[in-house]
């Protein structure tokens, strides 16, 4: 039953956003629109309870979860539904806008000073970049160049920016949001010391021989490391080309695709003509800490075991570092307590990850990009999981 309220909430928020809802105030939605959205996510069967009864239960669930508030008002005789609902805020109100004349970092100011008027979102973004530049211990050009999504999360992954950038790691993708500076990606990348990463076509493999040449075969190790997002994939590959390890292959999981693509491992590993390859001993996974990021490897693990492959295991040090260094921010998924406990159980360490359940129930997430190249180049403890 909880899936219907979740789907209804998503549609209601889509409707509100289409009407320029800012996410940090309440938004009124009338009964007619609520009913219309409900009918897009629920189809009654021949033995179902009446439509208004089912909708009433969904609304009660959303009220209990703190997502909506029912409108007050008179109801006609026999009317079960309220006059409408108030969508409750999903994030705090942003700080005051960046106004003309506000002091920006000296490296940023020359790039935007004599340009056309910018949007509210762009002004907030300038402030975020300026604050990041001010926070650096030295000049920006001394900072390590890292994948764009990792830098975007570092700059925008704060609660004060949630209403403007709900998925901060992605907010600079595809040219970001236009306007001065953002319409010139090359200048932006130089300023924030970042580079865009192209999703890998297949995977990165490591061979015997020189460390930096390890890129063509499983023969260099017996661990397959699967990474959910492409920016983190890039950072891990760059780091693994510089250190000794027993990881034979790094693969991009492509989100939900991994649940099915894990079955292709048996087809390609130890196939005819590749007797030199070592036996694949472990499959490890690292992804976002949210409902999807935990469900994906758990389902992939079950599929792998069915075809006599090793189970898909977590990388505990990377996940612990993600919690320690990252910031849980509102996500797009909310989870019931029982479901959250099942999802978190895949991590296999209830003591270290006990508060993951509470975060899932709140509908928050840790984005994988918080563990980026800057951290990986200064800390090799995460390799201890796979030695």
User: Looking at residues 336-362, what average pLDDT do you find?
Assistant: 86
Helix (H, G, I), strand (E, B) or coil at 215: coil
CA–CA separation, 148 vs 146, rounded Å? 6
CA–CA separation, 233 vs 341, rounded Å? 27
> H or E element: which one contains 248?
strand 247-252
User: Mean pLDDT across the chain, nearest whole number?
Assistant: 83
pLDDT at 97 over 80: no
Give the DSSP per-residue string, 203-214: EEE--SSSGGG-
pLDDT at 287 over 90: yes
User: Looking at residues 368-378, what average pLDDT do you find?
Assistant: 92
pLDDT at 292 over 80: yes
- Tens of pLDDT, residues 247-268: 888 888 888 888 888 888 776 6
User: Looking at residues 214-223, what average pLDDT do you find?
Assistant: 56
Q: What pLDDT is recorded for position 275?
A: 44
- Can you say how many angstroms the Cα of residue 249 is from the centroid of all Cα atoms in its chain? 23
User: Looking at residues 383-387, what average pLDDT do you find?
Assistant: 75
Could you give all domains of the chain from N- to C-terminal order, each with its CATH number? Answer: 3-87 (1.10.10), 109-195 (no CATH), 203-386 (no CATH)
Report the DSSP beta bridge partners of residue 84: 30
Q: What pLDDT is recorded for position 47?
A: 78
Task: State the pTM of this model.
Answer: 0.68
pLDDT at 43 over 90: no
- Tens of pLDDT, residues 48-62: 888 888 888 899 999
Q: What pLDDT is recorded for position 246?
A: 82
- Can you say how many angstroms the Cα of residue 222 is from the centroid of all Cα atoms in its chain? 28
Report the DSSP beta bridge partners of residue 223: 247, 282
- Tens of pLDDT, residues 104-162: 898 988 888 766 677 888 889 999 999 999 999 888 888 999 999 999 999 999 989 98
Q: What pLDDT is recorded for position 203?
A: 55
User: Looking at residues 270-296, what average pLDDT do you find?
Assistant: 76
pLDDT at 78 over 70: no
Sign of CA dihedral 289, 290, 293, 295: positive
- Tens of pLDDT, residues 308-325: 889 999 999 999 999 998
User: Looking at residues 20-43, what average pLDDT do you find?
Assistant: 88
pLDDT at 273 over 50: no
Choose the weakest-confidence range: 76-80, 182-186, 210-214, 301-305.
Answer: 210-214
User: Looking at residues 278-305, what average pLDDT do you find?
Assistant: 90
How many residues are present in the chain? 387
Q: What pLDDT is recorded for position 271?
A: 45
What is the DSSP-derived secondary structure letter of residue 247?
A: E
């Amino acid at each position: 039953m909880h899936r219907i309220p979740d789907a209804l909430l998503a549609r209601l928020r889509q409707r509100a956003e289409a009407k320029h809802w800012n996410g940090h105030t309440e938004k009124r939605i009338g009964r007619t629109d609520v009913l219309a959205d409900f009918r897009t996510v629920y189809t009654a069967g021949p033995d179902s309870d009446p439509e208004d009864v089912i909708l009433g239960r969904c609304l009660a669930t959303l009220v209990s979860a703190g997502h909506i508030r029912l409108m007050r008002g008179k109801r006609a005789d026999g009317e079960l539904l309220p006059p409408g609902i108030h969508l409750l805020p999903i994030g705090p109100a942003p700080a005051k806008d960046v106004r003309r004349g506000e002091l920006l970092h000296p490296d940023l100011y020359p790039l935007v000073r004599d340009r056309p008027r910018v949007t509210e979102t762009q002004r907030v973004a300038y402030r975020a970049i300026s604050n990041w530049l001010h926070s650096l211990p030295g000049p920006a050009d001394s900072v390590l160049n890292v994948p764009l999504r990792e830098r975007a999360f570092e700059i925008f992954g704060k609660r004060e920016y949630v209403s403007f950038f709900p998925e901060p790691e992605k907010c600079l993708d595809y040219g970001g949001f236009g306007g001065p500076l953002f319409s010139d990606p090359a200048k932006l990348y130089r300023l924030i010391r970042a580079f865009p990463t192209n999703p890998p076509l297949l995977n990165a493999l490591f061979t015997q021989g020189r460390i930096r040449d390890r890129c063509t075969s499983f023969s260099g190790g017996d661990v397959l490391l699967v990474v959910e997002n492409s920016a983190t994939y890039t950072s891990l590959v760059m780091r693994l080309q510089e250190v000794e390890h027993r990881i034979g292959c790094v693969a991009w999981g492509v989100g939900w695709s991994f649940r099915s693509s894990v079955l292709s491992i048996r087809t390609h590993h130890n196939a005819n003509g590749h007797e030199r390859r070592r036996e694949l001993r472990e499959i490890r996974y690292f992804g976002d800490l949210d409902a999807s990021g935990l469900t994906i490897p758990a389902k992939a693990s079950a599929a792998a075991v069915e075809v006599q492959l090793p189970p898909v295991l977590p990388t505990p040090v990377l996940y612990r570092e993600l919690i320690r260094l990252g910031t849980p921010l509102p996500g797009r998924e909310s989870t019931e307590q029982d479901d959250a406990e099942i999802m978190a159980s895949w991590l296999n360490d209830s003591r270290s990850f006990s508060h993951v359940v509470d975060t899932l129930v709140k509908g928050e997430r840790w984005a994988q990009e918080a563990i980026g190249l800057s951290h990986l180049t200064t800390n090799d403890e995460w390799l201890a999981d796979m030695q």
